[in-house]
Amino acid sequence: MKTINDFNFKDKKALIRVDFNVPLNEQFEVTDDTRIVSAKPTIIKILEDGGSCVLMSHLGRPKGVDDTFSLRHIVDKVSEVIGVEVKFVDNCVGAEAEAAAKALQPGEVLLLENLRFHSEETAGDVAFAEGLSKLGDIYVNDAFGTAHRAHASTTIVAQFFPEHKCFGYLLAEEIESIEKVMKTGEKPVLAVLGGAKVSSKITIIENILDKVDHLIIGGGMTFTFIKAQGGSIGESICEDDKLDMALEILKNAKAKNVQVHIPVDVVAADSFSNDAATQIVDVTKIPDGWQGLDAGPKSLANFHDVVMQCKTILWNGPLGVFEMENFSKGTIALGNSIAEATKKGAFSLVGGGDSVAAVKQFGFEDKVSYVSTGGGAMLESLEGKTLPGIAAILE
Ligand code: AMP
């Protein structure tokens, strides 16, 4: 796996695909600079080598040129985070961009305008990718959040740098973290899969059964498994067309010697609301008119024991409707258990979909080993897919 450590960037221009798709408020101010901060180590290494950086990114989903989505809005923030005054050019390809890249001196940083102002970017257009390739000597991909897309800047452009392409620090760390769970992690390995639906996680579950010793299934998925086994789930969320699939998963897990842990009790509510009346009930005996919205205390105690036994932990998906305070306790308790296990030496990776939001909201970010920056890219990695942006560098 080639990373930026394999190159000396002295007098070289690095064309870096970063993920600066950051949230902006109505005044076009950056409200969360995590993604910019995450790209900093790669940029600094290149500048310290004596090279220069041409940064390319998308922002939002513009349809053509649209000032609302201009990366110009973030130039000051990037300058502040990197500690170098960042230059900006109004286009990401063409004469103007080429002239700006050419004028760049060692130690300087240039940010290109939003890649998605050109529909060729998401179409993976080869000629457009060739246009981008003219802006640098070495291609660096440091954008995990878009690594699952075969876009011009994330994948196609790599072919114009057959010997001069590599991963930035952030992307390399993402890949290593996933490998720790999927291949090289110390046993016992645990995956906690929560979230709303079995259907969105089924490919992950199937793939992960070959890698883990323990599987905790929580969140809304619980009830499809409980109903499949004959339990009464009241009005809880359930995918009736996935009942056979749930039984099949349990059968496969048994055959593969994976211990599956499902909530035994839940916090049931009489409506989908933070103000609903609640009671703790056996997960197989949820009364009519009630729905399970969080894991109950016995379940959390069981999960704590499992987490504490494991040396490698993957967490994807909340254990309950964490957006409502009254149903967030399960997710918080699980986060605390994983934090404790991490403190005792376990490797913990959190990522995919909503898990990152939950982890940030409850302040677990610094208490787990790694929080992935890519929602969809992480989910596809866990499904066992080779992401096109990663494959393009490895080829
Ligand atoms: P996902 O994107 O699949 O990880 O699902 C995350 C969503 O699952 C969150 O918005 C949670 O509110 C929701 N969720 C978790 N547990 C439940 C539950 N018991 N009933 C309904 N939704 C749930």
What whole-number distance in Å separates Cα of residue 274 and Cα of residue 332?
Answer: 16
Using an 8 Å Cβ cutoff, are 301 and 263 in contact?
Answer: no
Q: Are residues 33 and 107 in the same domain?
A: yes
Catalytic-labelled residue, pool 353, 374, 375, 389: 353
259-276 as b/e, with b when 16 or more CB fall inside 10 Å? ebbbbbbbbbbeeeeeeb
Q: Is 35 a known active-site residue?
A: yes
Q: Residue 394: inside a domain, yes or no?
A: no
Give the three-class secondary structure for 330.
helix
Last residue of a domain, one of 119, 153, 173: 173
Q: Is 320's pLDDT higher than 80? A: yes
Q: Residue 197: inside a domain, yes or no?
A: yes
Q: Is the CB of 218 under 6 A from ligand 1?
A: no
Domain that holds residue 161: 4-173
Q: According to the model, what pLDDT value does residue 359 have? A: 86
Tokens for 270, please give them.
Answer: 């009489």
Q: Is 136 a known active-site residue?
A: no
- Listed in sequence order, the DSSP H helices in the chain are 34-49, 75-82, 95-103, 119-123, 126-133, 169-179, 202-208, 222-228, 243-255, 297-309, 329-343, 355-361, 375-382, 388-394
Q: Are residues 135 and 221 in the same domain?
A: no
pLDDT in tens, 284-312: 999 999 999 999 999 999 999 999 999 99
Q: Is 354's pLDDT higher than 80? A: no
The pick from 321, 322, 382 for probing ligand 1's pocket by mutation, whose C-beta has the most ligand atoms within 8 angstroms, reads: 321
Q: Residue 288: inside a domain, yes or no?
A: yes
- pTM score, two decimals? 0.89
What whole-number distance in Å separates Cα of residue 266 and Cα of residue 252?
Answer: 25
**Mean pLDDT computed over 79-107:** 98
Q: Is 355's pLDDT higher than 80? A: no
What whole-number distance in Å separates Cα of residue 371 and Cα of residue 35?
Answer: 12
Q: Residue 215: inside a domain, yes or no?
A: yes
pLDDT in tens, 87-97: 999 999 999 99
Q: Are residues 238 and 114 in the same domain?
A: no
Q: Is the CB of 168 under 6 A from ligand 1?
A: no
Q: According to the model, what pLDDT value does residue 108 have? A: 98
Report the separation in Å between the CA atom of 255 and the middle of ligand 1, taken as the mean of its atom positions.
28
Q: Is 329's pLDDT higher than 80? A: yes
Q: Is 219 a known active-site residue?
A: no
The pick from 222, 237, 331 for probing ligand 1's pocket by mutation, whose C-beta has the most ligand atoms within 8 angstroms, reads: 237
Q: Are residues 155 and 23 in the same domain?
A: yes
Q: According to the model, what pLDDT value does residue 88 have? A: 98
Q: Is 197 a known active-site residue?
A: yes
Q: Is 353's pLDDT higher than 80? A: no
Q: According to the model, what pLDDT value does residue 360 have? A: 84
Catalytic-labelled residue, pool 197, 311, 360, 367: 197
What whole-number distance in Å separates Cα of residue 105 and Cα of residue 53?
Answer: 9
| Percent of the residues in the chain that have a pLDDT greater than 90, as a whole number | 90
Position with higher pLDDT, 176 vs 376: 176
Q: According to the model, what pLDDT value does residue 376 have? A: 86
Using an 8 Å Cβ cutoff, are 298 and 264 in contact?
Answer: yes
Q: Are residues 300 and 377 in the same domain?
A: yes
**Mean pLDDT computed over 206-215:** 95
What whole-number distance in Å separates Cα of residue 126 and Cα of residue 269?
Answer: 54
Residue 107 binned pLDDT confidence (cut-offs 50, 70, 90): very high
Residue 169 binned pLDDT confidence (cut-offs 50, 70, 90): very high
Mean pLDDT for the chain overall: 96
CATH number at residue 151: 3.40.50.1260
Work out how many domains the chain is built from and give that number: 2
What whole-number distance in Å separates Cα of residue 279 and Cα of residue 323?
Answer: 19
pLDDT in tens, 216-248: 999 999 999 999 999 999 999 999 999 999 999
Using an 8 Å Cβ cutoff, are 249 and 205 in contact?
Answer: yes
Q: According to the model, what pLDDT value does residue 374 have? A: 81
| DSSP notation for 79-100 | HHHHTSPEEEES-SSSHHHHHH
Q: Is 158's pLDDT higher than 80? A: yes
Q: Are residues 139 and 116 in the same domain?
A: yes
Last residue of a domain, one of 173, 198, 231: 173
Q: Are residues 17 and 79 in the same domain?
A: yes
